[in-house]
C-alpha cells in the first residue's frame, strides 16, 4: 500500500510537470470547438486577452524553439515514464515478472531519453539561464530510477517553475 501511495504522489507531481509543459490550448468548448477565439466560426469570446509575451528566454534567437522542444520532451517522456512504471507495478502485482521487467525497462529508457534530450536542448540554448535550467533538469532526470523513493519531486517542481518563467506558459 505504501508503494502505491508513493506511485500516486510521484505520478501526480510528474504529471503536473508534463501538463504545465504540454503546450496545451484552452478548452475547445471555450474557443469555438477547437477554433482560436476571433477566428471565423468561433463561438468563444471574440476579443480575448492578449497572449503572454512569453518568458525572457523566448527573446533570444532560438529561445522559442528550445522552449518548445523542452516542453515536448517533458510532456512525452514524463507521460511515458509514468505509464510504464504503472504497468510495471500492475504486472508485478499480478505476478507477471517478465511484464514488470519489460515495463520497468521502458520507464528507464524514457527517463534516459528525457535526460539526453534536455541536455541536447541545453547545448542549443543561447540564453544562459535557459541553458542552466535545462542542464539541471537533465541531471535530476538522469538520476531518476524506477525507485520512486529516489525521485526528487520538489527539485523537479522548482526547476519546472524556473523553466515556465523563462519560457512563458
Q: What is the pTM of this model?
A: 0.67
43 within some domain: no
| Cα–Cα dist 128/70, whole Å | 15
CB–CB of 10/147 below 8 Å?
A: no
11 within some domain: yes
30 within some domain: no
| Cα–Cα dist 168/70, whole Å | 12
Angstrom distances, CA of residue 50 to CA of 54, 57, 156: 11, 19, 30
The count of domains in the chain is 1
51 within some domain: no
Phi, psi dihedral angles at 143 (to 5 degrees): -85, -10
Query: If 0-12 CB within 10 Å is exposed, 13-18 middle and 19+ buried, where does residue 94 land?
Result: exposed
Nearest residue to 28 (alpha-carbon basis) of 18, 20, 39, 17:
39
What residues contact residue 167 under an 8 Å CB cut-off, 6+ apart? Answer: 54, 55, 57, 58, 63, 67, 70, 71, 130
Provide the 10 A C-beta neighbour count for residue 70: 27
CB–CB of 88/104 below 8 Å?
A: yes
pLDDT tens for each residue of the chain, 169 residues long:
445 445 544 555 554 555 444 444 333 333 344 444 444 444 444 433 333 445 566 566 788 999 999 999 999 998 999 999 999 999 999 999 999 999 999 999 999 999 999 999 999 999 999 999 999 999 988 888 767 667 777 887 888 888 888 888 6
pLDDT for the residue 12 = 52
Domain housing 159: 2-23+62-167
| Cα–Cα dist 166/169, whole Å | 9
| Cα–Cα dist 75/64, whole Å | 16
Amino acid at each position: 500500500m505504501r508503494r502505491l501511495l508513493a506511485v500516486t504522489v510521484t505520478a501526480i507531481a510528474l504529471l503536473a510537470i508534463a501538463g504545465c509543459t504540454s503546450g496545451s490550448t484552452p478548452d475547445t468548448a471555450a474557443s469555438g470547438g477547437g477554433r482560436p477565439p476571433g477566428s471565423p466560426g468561433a463561438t468563444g469570446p471574440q476579443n480575448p486577452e492578449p497572449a503572454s509575451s512569453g518568458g525572457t528566454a523566448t527573446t533570444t534567437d532560438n529561445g522559442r524553439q528550445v522552449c518548445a522542444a523542452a516542453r515536448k520532451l517533458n510532456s512525452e517522456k514524463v507521460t511515458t515514464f509514468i505509464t510504464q512504471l504503472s504497468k510495471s507495478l500492475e504486472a508485478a502485482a499480478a505476478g507477471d515478472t517478465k511484464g514488470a521487467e519489460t515495463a520497468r525497462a521502458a520507464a528507464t529508457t524514457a527517463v534516459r531519453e528525457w535526460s539526453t534530450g534536455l541536455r541536447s536542448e541545453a547545448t542549443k540554448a543561447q540564453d544562459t539561464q535557459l541553458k542552466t535550467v535545462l542542464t539541471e533538469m537533465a541531471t535530476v532526470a538522469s538520476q531518476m530510477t524506477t525507485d520512486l523513493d529516489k525521485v526528487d519531486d520538489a527539485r523537479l517542481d522548482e526547476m519546472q517553475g524556473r523553466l515556465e518563467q523563462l519560457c512563458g506558459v
